[in-house]
Amino acid sequence: MNKRKTLLYQMTLRTVLFLFLFLSALILFYIIGNYQQFLDSNQNTILLLATFTAILLVFFSSAGFLESLYYLIKGDYTGCCRSYIIRIVLTVFSAATGTAVMFFTRTISFLSGKF
């Protein structure tokens, strides 16, 4: 039976993609800001935004993982189960990345005295 993916599932995966790319851009801005000597307040704002984005990324990645796992177990495949397995791996990777970045940004904020 060929069923379409639900709107919630599509929106969750798109949100994960958006948050992952936004977090990557924030980390890139932070690195560039270190070389171009941004003000400390700007750097702290970038770190704070990166922390909140990482928290949201972990939350939505966990939701995407659970949804993918549910559809894999349920057996309603739109194509094949390989796409759900790939999505499970990608959501686990993005959750791990979000967790690592969250600890990294909080550590930098703590060491700079601006926590």
The predicted pLDDT at position 42 comes to 87
pLDDT greater than 90 at residue 85: no
Sequence spans of domains, the chain: 7-112
pTM above 0.75, yes or no: yes
At 78 the three-state DSSP class reads coil
Quickly state the pLDDT bin for 38 (edges 50, 70, 90). Answer: confident
The predicted pLDDT at position 28 comes to 95
CB 101 within 8 A of CB 50: yes
The tens digit of pLDDT for each residue in 50-82 reads 999 999 999 999 999 999 888 888 876 555 677
Radius of gyration of the chain, Cα coordinates, nearest whole angstrom:
17
**In what helix (H) or strand (E) does residue 7 lie, and over which residues does it extend?**
helix 7-35
CA 11, 66, 58, 80 dihedral sign is negative
Tokens 């941004």, residue located: 38
pLDDT greater than 80 at residue 36: yes
pLDDT, averaged across the chain: 88
Q: What is the phi/psi pair of residue 75, to 5°?
A: 90, 10
* Percent of the residues in the chain that have a pLDDT greater than 70, as a whole number: 90
